[in-house]
């Protein structure tokens, strides 16, 4: 008999994963901007202090220095909060993306589920910003198990990566171990009437929505789109062909995130289908507990369910 693992925050994966990878022969250097306690990057400092550099509250300096460090052959992991990674956008563009350097941005406190801190700390645009950077691989883990697998994949794969992790403790989905493959959607549940494409903490919420829909006779496929870039166009095309309707659910602005990127792929495919978008609607966040903020934004199982009913109605 297996016991359900306790909920965990995806941000908790980083430090321990980096220590393990370093022990197993990786050549990792971590740079930090005065948030190492919250991102768990400090765990790596405790094990490998000579491989850890703090830059203080100075993200732009940290990112360009990370680019330089990586040219000496190290895998450089830069950690801060998602909003403060955005702080260094041009540095990301010129010191990392354009020269295609081996820098991994693992940014925690992504999305609106940062909660009480309010708008300034809630990243609603990071998928858009990082996906706009050519050469970047952009990933969002659905749980702590997948987060660890993503960090390992990033360290093993040359080139710039962005991994967004989250602050709150969320349920573990991959109780039997990770299934992450870069660039591949993971079908967590098959269905015939609609496909829900989700990432991050919306994956578990979408699974719950699919269960509720099942009870009222709607059969939903659920794809965990853990890689936002490069997008798994094949899985999307198959979803359109097999189910005829798509809902995209994400903790991000709808007009510029995973939904917009999926819509572009579907529009360019041979079989465009109706789509609906669950996400942050053209606004910034606000203070409340993390699950209250998600509720305010409609990022709930019920929100996904409503979008599914809408898109299924549009099929006829």
Partner 1 sequence: MVAGAGTDLRALTKRVRRHVVEMVYGAQSGHIGGSMSSTEILAVLYGRIMRHDPQRPDWPERDRFVMSKGHCTPVQYATLAENGYFPVEELSTFRKKGSRLQGHSVLGKPQGVENSAGALGMGLSFGLGIRLGMRLNNIDAHVYVLMGDGEQDEGQVWEAAMAAAHHNVDRLVAIIDRNGIQNDDFTRETMRTEPLDEKYRAFGWEVRAGIDGHDLDAVEAALAWARDVRGKPALVIFDTVKGKGVSFMENNPGFHGAAPNAEQFARAMEELA
Ligand X SMILES: Cc1ncc(C[n+]2csc(CCOP(=O)(O)OP(=O)(O)O)c2C)c(N)n1
What residues are annotated to the active site?
Answer: 59
DSSP 3-state of 163? strand
Q: Quote the CA–CA distance of 289 and 311 in Å, as a whole number.
A: 30
Binding mask 12-51 for ligand X (x = CB under 6 A): ----------------------xx----------------
In whole angstroms, the minimum distance from the beta carbon of 221 to partner 1 comes to: 34
Residues 6+ apart with CB under 8 A from 25: none
Judged by CB, which is closer to ligand X: 87, or 169?
A: 87
* Percent of the chain that is helix, strand, coil (3-state, to 5): 40, 20, 40
62 token code pair: 């940290």
Cis (ω within 30 of 0) for the bond into 230?
A: yes
Interaction residues for ligand X, span 60-89 (CB under 6 A): 84, 87
| Member of 34, 189, 219, 309 binding partner 1 (CB under 8 A) | 34
Binding mask 75-94 for partner 1 (x = CB under 8 A): --------xx--x-------
For residues 55 and 61, the answer to whether their CB atoms sit within 8 Å is yes
Judged by CB, which is closer to ligand X: 40, or 224?
A: 40
Judged by CB, which is closer to ligand X: 92, or 197?
A: 92
| Member of 287, 302, 306, 309 binding partner 1 (CB under 8 A) | 287
- Which whole-number Å values give the CA distances from 277 to 195, 219, 251, 252, in the listed order? 12, 18, 11, 11
* Rg, C-alpha atoms of the chain: 19
Judged by CB, which is closer to ligand X: 34, or 286?
A: 34
175 binds, among ligand X, partner 1, none (CB under 5 to 8 A by kind): none
Residue 35 lies near partner 1 (rule: CB under 8 A): yes
Residues 6+ apart with CB under 8 A from 160: 92, 96, 97, 100, 101, 102, 103, 104, 105, 133, 135, 136, 137
Residue 159 lies near partner 1 (rule: CB under 8 A): no
DSSP 3-state of 53? strand
In whole angstroms, the minimum distance from the beta carbon of 37 to ligand X comes to: 10
181 binds, among ligand X, partner 1, none (CB under 5 to 8 A by kind): none
For residues 199 and 237, the answer to whether their CB atoms sit within 8 Å is no
Residue 267 lies near ligand X (rule: CB under 6 A): no
In whole angstroms, the minimum distance from the beta carbon of 117 to ligand X comes to: 9
Residue 15 lies near partner 1 (rule: CB under 8 A): no
313 token code pair: 């109605």
Residue 55 lies near ligand X (rule: CB under 6 A): no
Q: Write out the DSSP string of 219-238.
A: -EEEEE--EEES--HHHHHH
Residue 44 lies near partner 1 (rule: CB under 8 A): no
Minimal CB distance residue for ligand X: 34
Residues 6+ apart with CB under 8 A from 285: 112, 114, 118, 119, 122, 124, 293, 297
Residue 169 lies near partner 1 (rule: CB under 8 A): no
* Residues that bind ligand X in the complex, under the rule CB under 6 A: 34-35, 57, 84, 87
* Residues that bind partner 1 in the complex, under the rule CB under 8 A: 32, 34-38, 42, 54-58, 60-61, 83-84, 87, 115-121, 286-289, 292, 296
């Amino acid at each position: 008999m297996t016991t359900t693992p306790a909920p965990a925050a995806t941000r908790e994966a980083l430090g321990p994963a980096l220590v393990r990878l370093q022990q197993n022969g990786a050549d990792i250097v971590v740079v930090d901007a005065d948030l190492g306690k919250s991102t768990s990057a400090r765990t790596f400092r405790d094990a490998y202090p000579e491989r850890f550099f703090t830059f203080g509250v100075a993200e732009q300096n940290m990112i360009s220095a990370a680019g330089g460090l990586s040219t000496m052959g190290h895998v450089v992991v830069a950690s801060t909060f998602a909003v403060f990674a955005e702080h260094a956008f041009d540095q990301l563009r010129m010191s990392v993306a354009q020269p295609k350097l081996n820098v991994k941005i693992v940014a925690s406190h992504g999305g609106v589920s940062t909660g009480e801190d309010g708008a300034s700390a809630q990243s609603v645009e990071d998928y858009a910003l990082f996906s706009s950077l050519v050469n970047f691989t952009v990933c969002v883990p659905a749980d702590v198990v997948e987060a660890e697998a993503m960090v390992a994949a990033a360290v093993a794969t040359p080139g710039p990566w962005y991994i967004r992790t989250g602050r709150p403790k969320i349920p573990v989905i991959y109780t039997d171990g990770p299934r992450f493959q870069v660039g591949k959607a993971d079908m967590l549940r098959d269905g015939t009437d609609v496909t829900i494409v989700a990432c991050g903490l919306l994956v578990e919420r979408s699974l719950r929505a699919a269960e509720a829909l099942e009870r009222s006779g709607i059969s939903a496929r659920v794809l965990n789109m853990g890689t936002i870039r490069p997008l798994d166009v094949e899985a999307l095309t198959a979803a359109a062909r097999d189910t005829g309707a798509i809902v995209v659910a994400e903790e991000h602005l709808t007009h510029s995130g995973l939904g917009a990127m999926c819509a572009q792929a579907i529009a360019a495919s041979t079989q465009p289908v109706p789509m609906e978008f669950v996400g942050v609607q053209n606004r910034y966040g606000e203070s409340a507990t993390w699950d209250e903020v998600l509720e305010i934004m409609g990022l709930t199982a019920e929100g996904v369910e409503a979008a599914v009913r809408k898109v299924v109605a549009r099929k006829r």
